[in-house]
């Protein structure tokens, strides 16, 4: 079934070259979150974190609006870059998505800080009288994101407070509640 060449002799392995990461489930956390941007757009998200002395996390936030706008940009007054005015219906929509990950560090037995980066967008879209969505450049942003905050651990309950900023143009304040597995 196995040939002798399939095995590495134990005496050839050094304890200096092999390390095993022991992930203990009591340090894995899941948090449901609510976010509110500086434009008062609500978002909902989830964070999965591993918090030991050093650890990591991933977070996803959205407002669940994934409508695709036209690649036609206007300003907040409804004009494009050439001064042409769009015929607007008066309706607007906002699309939000944020995906970040980073490191956690335990500064006290029941308190971790975190910092990371990723990608986010906020798209304000005005609807035309034809029902098409146009991106409003003045109040939209897309690109790199910086995320930081703290997570307090109260036995199996967690509380997260944080701030996420996209290109320092948009601030998203986040509060989360979680549970330790």
E strands, the chain, are 28-37, 42-50, 54-62, 70-74, 88-108, 111-128, 133-136, 141-154, 157-166, 170-180
As beta bridge partners, residue 111 has 108, 152
pLDDT tens-digit readout, 26-35: 678 888 999 9
Does this model's pTM top 0.85? Answer: no
Q: Average pLDDT over the chain, rounded to whole?
A: 85
Q: Specify whether the CB–CB gap between 18 and 8 falls below 8 A.
A: no
Q: Specify whether the CB–CB gap between 104 and 54 falls below 8 A.
A: yes
Residues 151, 35, 167, 68: is their CA dihedral positive or negative?
A: positive
Which domains, from first to last, does the chain contain? Answer: 27-180 (2.40.160.20)
pLDDT tens-digit readout, 71-100: 888 888 888 888 888 889 999 999 999 999
pLDDT tens-digit readout, 145-157: 999 999 998 887 8
- pLDDT-derived band of residue 57, with 50, 70 and 90 as boundaries? very high
Q: Of the candidates 105, 110, 118, which has an alpha carbon nearest to the alpha carbon of residue 149?
A: 105
Q: Once rounded to an integer, what is the mean pLDDT over residues 97-114?
A: 94
Asked if residue 18 has pLDDT above 60, the reply is no
């Amino acid at each position: 079934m196995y040939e002798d060449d399939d095995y590495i002799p134990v005496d050839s392995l050094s304890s200096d070259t092999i390390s095993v990461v022991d992930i203990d489930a009591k340090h894995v956390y899941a948090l449901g979150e609510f976010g509110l941007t500086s434009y008062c757009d609500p978002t909902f998200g989830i964070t999965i974190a591993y918090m030991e002395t050093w650890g990591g996390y991933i977070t996803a936030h959205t407002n669940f609006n994934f409508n695709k706008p036209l690649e036609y940009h206007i300003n907040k007054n409804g004009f494009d870059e050439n001064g042409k005015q769009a015929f607007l219906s008066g309706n607007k929509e906002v699309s939000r998505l944020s995906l970040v990950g980073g490191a956690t560090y335990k500064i006290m037995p029941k308190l971790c800080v975190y910092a990371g980066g990723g990608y986010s967008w906020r798209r304000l879209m005005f609807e035309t009288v034809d029902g098409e969505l146009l991106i409003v450049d003045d109040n939209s942003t897309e690109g790199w994101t910086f995320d930081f905050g703290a997570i307090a651990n109260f036995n199996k309950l967690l509380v997260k407070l944080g701030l996420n900023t996209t290109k320092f143009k948009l601030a998203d304040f986040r509060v989360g509640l979680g549970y330790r597995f």
